Structure 1
Amino acid sequence: MSVRARIAVLPPGTHLLEFRELTMPSPGPFEVMVEQSAFGVCHSQLDRIFDSSRTASMLLGHESIGRVVAVGAEVTYVQPGDQVCTTWIPRSPREGRPPLPSRLTFPDGDVAASHNCYTWGTHALVDEQYVVQMPDGTDPDLGSIIGCALMTGAGAVMNSIDLRPGQSVAVWGAGGVGLCAVAGAAILGAGRIIAVDVSDAKLALAAKFGATDGVNARETDPVEAIRQLTRHDDGTAGADFCLDCTGIGDNIPVSLAAVRPGIRGAGVRGGTDVLVGIPRKPFSLDSFDLLNGEKSLAGSVGGGCDPVRDFATFVSWTNDGRFDPALLVTDRFELDQINEAVDALHHGRVRGRAVVGVRELE
């Protein structure tokens, strides 16, 4: 089967992607070839794009929706024609076999590789563990953001904390992942949901996802603001849970400080601060605040999601109207505009999620 593809490649020594065409190789035994419909542009990809230490070409992107066009001889989970989402969290191990990153060799001999999967192009050839079968007719906006933004943000609320109805949640960063965390908290019954950002426009958007309060950290002390909003009958103040979706090291001790402390001698532990965004550099904590407040600091990778189980939940949220993926997709681009999409995200012009629509190669 001959499939012509157009793939975005990031050469070493530059932060500008270029498109290359090739005839896709046949899938290996455990590979799946996906014809892409749409994909998201995630902030974590900027770390790779602007990494000056890169010495080889890269394939980027890790959330998309499309259809299977070919499968390897050992693949039984999907077949050609199936609608699937691609995601960077492996679906499930196959007899202990770790998923393999993708590699493509182009006509000029250059070899480009992904960190895990890749999605920025008309087609993707990825390990079967990075694809999740979706119901026919899945909303394309949902499919383009489910594999990272929704999974990471809402998943952290579902899987990484023990949220009980009425408890308070503060979310640092009201970008794509943070908005999904806000939505997840609202859907799962949180009482007070506080969005923290430095952009009033993003805070206004967070309100549409269920935030009861917005705090502009550029204009006010977010810790004091959260404590004022979350006073408890036992005399403590602070959010039951804080989720840091920024990955900015300086924010982490601040979000920890905004967590509700425990009560020593009464057997009441403090709240939890969850690292959802990927810290880009080491950070320091107030160890006394962590210890004396009997608080917890936890990490959440990909929202702790089981993609097959949790993607079905996200589809149900969309189908019954509890989550509107079109509201999250604030910026839309075509494939040829991939560098414009990256630039918009890099300079903070994307309020929610940027999505690239893919047309068939002519």
Structure 2
Amino acid sequence: MAVQARIAVLPPQRRDLVLHEVNLLPGPYEVVVQQQAFGVCHSQLDRIFDDNRTTPMVLGHESTGTVAAVGSRVTYVQPGDPVVVTWIPRTPLQGRRPAPTAVALSDGQIATTHNTFTWGTHALVDEQYVVKTAADLSPDLGAIIGCALMTGAGAVMNTAAVRAGQSVAVWGTGGVGLCAVAAASILGAAPIIAVDIDDDKLKLARHFGATDVVNASAVDPVEAILDRTPHADGTRGVDIGLDCTGLGANIPISLAAVRPGVRGAGIRGGADILVGIPRVPFQLDSFDLLNGEKSLIGCVGGSCDPVRDFATFTAWVADGRFDASALVTGRYRLDDLDKAVDDLHAGRVGGRAVVEL
């Protein structure tokens, strides 16, 4: 069954979005989701500001809503089920690779996407990108769980496997970084040092559990972190760094703030988790990495298992450990989506921008 929808399309070689009326007909393994809210992620700016695009694109990869239609071979959900949409496949080991979505536009063009899209009244996605949830899931949580919370909190919980008492530094306190701060606090890390160049974002980081904040535009952030993290073995630095900046030039800096190991004592250095995605090559201080026996670890989507980890995140909200609504610092309508993108690009969104439908 086809579903009429209004979706945002990014034309080739343009940076403004155009709203299209389309009919979404699910393929055999696809699901149409009538959306309640969706997040606006910083990673989508890379596609918007890519002037080499030659085809229309549909964007977005985290949302919450209700299943409106399903394809003939979908068995996981049925119409009426509440779900969240994410970009990490739910069942990647079951033999079928999820297919990227393509949408036929009324002018005959085909709009493509990397894997999913959510910027519209409805989303058409492979069924592996939806996760069933409770009917009373808050729109704020549903709009951020599929990317911001998964990526930031997952990096702490899964990739770094942070333990109580470990010291953590989070570099970049946008939506993803704030989720990393919150997860570190929930897991009992101490101290938790948030690093940014925006005092308002650092203030918000304290709300989510940061014990210390460092404005990297005012002081040397590495020295500030080293001063706050002395260890009994004589080393200084955090056990775990999480670089959420997406800036290649910042990676050797965040790595320098990680504690080194102790040669002869069998004590390895700490780890720096690469959470943000640098879009250009970067250089490292190989001596710092090697001599300090440190680790630089890549992380995609918080190393998450969506079904398992979304249940954990939902429990954090239910018992008051995570404040999903406080992460949403910009609220928009679908007609104002370009403004949400502009605000995000200009740094005017402290946490996460969400479009409510």
Instruction: Work out whether the TM-score is over 0.5.
Output: yes
Residue in 2 that maps onto 1:118: 117
Indicate conservation of the 8 Å contact 2:331/2:353, yes or no: yes
- Range with greater deviation from structure 2 (266-275 or 161-170): 161-170
Question: How many Å separate the matches in 1 of 2:227 and 2:7?
Answer: 51
Residue 266 of structure 2 aligns with an amino acid whose one-letter code is G
Shift of 1:3: 2.3
Residue in 1 that maps onto 2:192: 193
Question: How many Å separate the matches in 2 of 1:131 and 1:330?
Answer: 25
Residue 149 of structure 1 aligns with an amino acid whose one-letter code is A
Residue in 2 that maps onto 1:290: 289
Question: How many Å separate the matches in 1 of 2:269 and 2:126?
Answer: 42
Indicate conservation of the 8 Å contact 2:13/2:50, yes or no: no
Secondary structure at the aligned position of 2:83 is classed as: strand
Residue 225 of structure 2 aligns with an amino acid whose one-letter code is I
Shift of 1:94: 6.5
Q: For residues 307-326 of structure 1, what are the structure 2 equivalents within 5 Å?
A: 307-326=306-325
Q: For residues 243-258 of structure 1, what are the structure 2 equivalents within 5 Å?
A: 243-258=242-257
* Equivalent residue pairs, number: 357
Indicate conservation of the 8 Å contact 2:38/2:356, yes or no: yes
Residue in 1 that maps onto 2:171: 172
Residue in 2 that maps onto 1:144: 143
Question: How many Å separate the matches in 2 of 1:22 and 1:274?
Answer: 41
Residue in 2 that maps onto 1:47: 46
Secondary structure at the aligned position of 1:218 is classed as: coil
Residue in 2 that maps onto 1:14: 14
Residue in 2 that maps onto 1:330: 329
Secondary structure at the aligned position of 2:75 is classed as: coil
Q: For residues 1-362 of structure 1, what are the structure 2 equivalents within 5 Å?
A: 1-25=1-25, 27-93=26-92, 95-358=94-357
Shift of 1:174: 0.4
- Deviation readout 1:267-321 (Å, 9 max, x if unpaired): 0000000000011110000000000100000011000000000000000000000
Residue 17 of structure 1 aligns with an amino acid whose one-letter code is L
Secondary structure at the aligned position of 1:156 is classed as: helix
Question: How many Å separate the matches in 2 of 1:312 and 1:17?
Answer: 34
Question: How many Å separate the matches in 1 of 2:171 and 2:285?
Answer: 18
Q: Any stretches of 5+ residues in structure 1 without a counterpart?
A: none
Q: Any stretches of 5+ residues in structure 2 without a counterpart?
A: none
Question: How many Å separate the matches in 2 of 1:328 and 1:319?
Answer: 15
Superposition CA RMSD, Å: 0.8
Residue 196 of structure 2 aligns with an amino acid whose one-letter code is D
Question: How many Å separate the matches in 2 of 1:271 and 1:232?
Answer: 12
Secondary structure at the aligned position of 2:248 is classed as: coil
Shift of 1:23: 2.2
Question: How many Å separate the matches in 2 of 1:282 and 1:3?
Answer: 43
Residue 220 of structure 1 aligns with an amino acid whose one-letter code is V
Question: How many Å separate the matches in 2 of 1:17 and 1:279?
Answer: 25
Shift of 1:191: 1.1
Question: How many Å separate the matches in 2 of 1:63 and 1:101?
Answer: 15
Indicate conservation of the 8 Å contact 2:90/2:130, yes or no: yes
Question: How many Å separate the matches in 1 of 2:202 and 2:94?
Answer: 45
Indicate conservation of the 8 Å contact 2:172/2:194, yes or no: yes
Question: How many Å separate the matches in 2 of 1:108 and 1:48?
Answer: 22
Indicate conservation of the 8 Å contact 2:66/2:79, yes or no: yes
- Deviation readout 1:55-74 (Å, 9 max, x if unpaired): 00001000000000111111
Question: How many Å separate the matches in 2 of 1:353 and 1:2?
Answer: 32
Secondary structure at the aligned position of 1:250 is classed as: helix
TM-score (norm 2): 0.99
Shift of 1:161: 1.0
Residue 9 of structure 1 aligns with an amino acid whose one-letter code is V
Question: How many Å separate the matches in 1 of 2:163 and 2:210?
Answer: 17
Question: How many Å separate the matches in 2 of 1:93 and 1:346?
Answer: 33
Question: How many Å separate the matches in 2 of 1:37 and 1:195?
Answer: 32
Structure 1 runs of 4+ off > 3 angstroms?
A: none
Secondary structure at the aligned position of 1:171 is classed as: strand
Shift of 1:143: 0.3
TM-score (norm 1): 0.98
Shift of 1:107: 1.5
Identity of aligned residues (%): 68
Question: How many Å separate the matches in 2 of 1:24 and 1:268?
Answer: 56
- Deviation readout 1:122-153 (Å, 9 max, x if unpaired): 01111000101011110110000000000000
Shift of 1:162: 2.8
Question: How many Å separate the matches in 2 of 1:347 and 1:117?
Answer: 25
Residue 339 of structure 2 aligns with an amino acid whose one-letter code is E
